[in-house]
A = this chain, B = another copy of it.
Amino acid sequence: MAKLQAGYLFPEIARRRAAHLQKYPDAKIISLGIGDTTEPIPNVITNAMAERAHALSTIDGYSGYGAEQGEKKLRAAIAATYYADLGIEDSDIFVSDGAKCDISRLQVLFGSNATIAVQDPSYPAYVDSSVIMGQTELYQQDVQKYGNIEYMRCNPENGFFPDLSTVPRTDIIFFCSPNNPTGAAASRDQLTKLVKFAKDNGSIIVYDSAYAMYISDDSPKSIFEIPGAKEVAIETASFSKYAGFTGVRLGWTVVPKELLFSDGHPVAKDFNRIVCTCFNGASNIAQAGGLACLSPEGLKAMRDVVGFYKENTEIIVDTFTSLGFNVYGAKNAPYVWVHFPGRNSWDVFAEILEKANVVTTPGSGFGPGGEGFVRVSAFGHRENIIEAARRLKQLYK
């Protein structure tokens, strides 16, 4: 624990935001920082959750402990909706209380001797959970990296896909696509290379697809679209950013039965044991919501929510582009990755907070490869996005 640096990124941003508010109590802060959904959950979904809650007060509708792996119907609906024709079955799917929680359970599965690689920049939970599990060596202040983690640099020069020829073998490769924070979605060709790389090295890919429904082009929405991926990959996903479930808590992880440790033992069998020992299933009310999400009406409602945030993304992209900034991501993700060449990203964060009362996320919080960038989240009410755009234009005109 002592190795961990400062605060986890988002609590740290919350702290700085609170300090700003203390200094300027009247500041009308707009938060485009933490990627937290803002739009109400569609009625078709909350109605199902309310109905399940009421049913729990009846003798017939009451249920106690559910299967730790999730309700059968929900597992089946996830398999049918997101993995039809990909050979993923209900039994490969573990329903969870969210992707972040599953990443940490996966780290418990891999244990303290596992070696990991991460995209640089990437969502901090991979690295922080690795540090907590004792997989890493000390933080090296000069390079802003932990020892014993491979940071796979992803930047505009390499199209946000790492040069795998320079990446040493690790046991585990965390790969988030569409990426948080850069918004880059890996192409079929890139993922094919990644799968081959993992297979050649005997590595397991943990593929975080929490933003897959934001993909607009023909990038794969699941790693399992790549032939052979079932033998090398785990996929984790979430309802958070599709249905506004960041507070409701529901996600899932796919561990294909084809994925084996080097001794031939199925990874899913051990993960199942972790899930049964360290977890007791997602809330049954949240699971009822998940099932409603995957009904025809629910799917349409989720696509509308995603579409709304994608319109926000366009407004943010237009704003920065019109100011002469280079922006990345955005097309396949609710994040705009804005380049401030040569500048320190915490300085840019502070400048935008101080002068525009807008909270962003400093790129370097996602790894040294994020230095010089800030992540602008498209999660916000439309009027706030428009007002933030106005202030940013004022600031950088």
Contacts and interface: CB of A to CB of B under 8 A. Distances in A.
Contact of A54 (B50, B279, B285): B50
Given A50-B54, A277-B125, A285-B49, A244 B108 contact: no
A57 B53 contact: no
A278 B101 contact: yes
A277 B50 CA distance: 30
Interface of A: 1, 4, 7-8, 11, 34, 36-43, 45-47, 49-51, 53-54, 56-59, 61-66, 97-98, 100-101, 104, 108-109, 111-112, 125, 128-129, 132-134, 244, 246-249, 270, 273-274, 276-286, 289, 379, 381
B65 A39 contact: no
B49 A53 contact: yes
A8 B283 CA distance: 21
B41 A62 contact: yes
A246 B65 contact: yes
B132 A277 contact: yes
A295 B50 CA distance: 20
10 contacts: A40-B58, A40-B62, A46-B57, A49-B53, A53-B289, A56-B248, A97-B280, A100-B277, A125-B277, A249-B281
Majority-rule SS of A interface residues? loop
A65 B11 CA distance: 12
Contact of A247 (B4, B34, B63, B379): B63
A112 B133 CA distance: 8
Top 9 A-B pairs ranked by shortest CB distance?
A104-B278, A50-B50, A36-B64, A49-B53, A247-B284, A64-B246, A50-B53, A283-B283, A46-B57
Contacts of A61: 40
A173 to B, nearest CB: 20
A283 B280 contact: no
B285 A53 contact: yes
Nearest to A37: B64
Q: Most chain-B CB neighbours within 10 Å: which of A51, A65, A112?
A: A65
Contacts of A133: 108
Contacts of A277: 8, 100, 104, 125, 128-129, 132
Given A8-B273, A36-B64, A100-B279, 4 more contacts: A40-B61, A49-B53, A128-B277, A249-B282
A51 B47 CA distance: 10
B100 A248 contact: no
A104 B64 contact: no
A286 to B, nearest CB: 5
Contacts of A281: 247, 249
Contacts of A97: 97, 249, 280, 283
Contact of A1 (B45, B132, B248, B270): B270
Contacts of A40: 56-59, 61-62
A280 B99 CA distance: 9
B108 A104 contact: yes
A1 B111 CA distance: 9
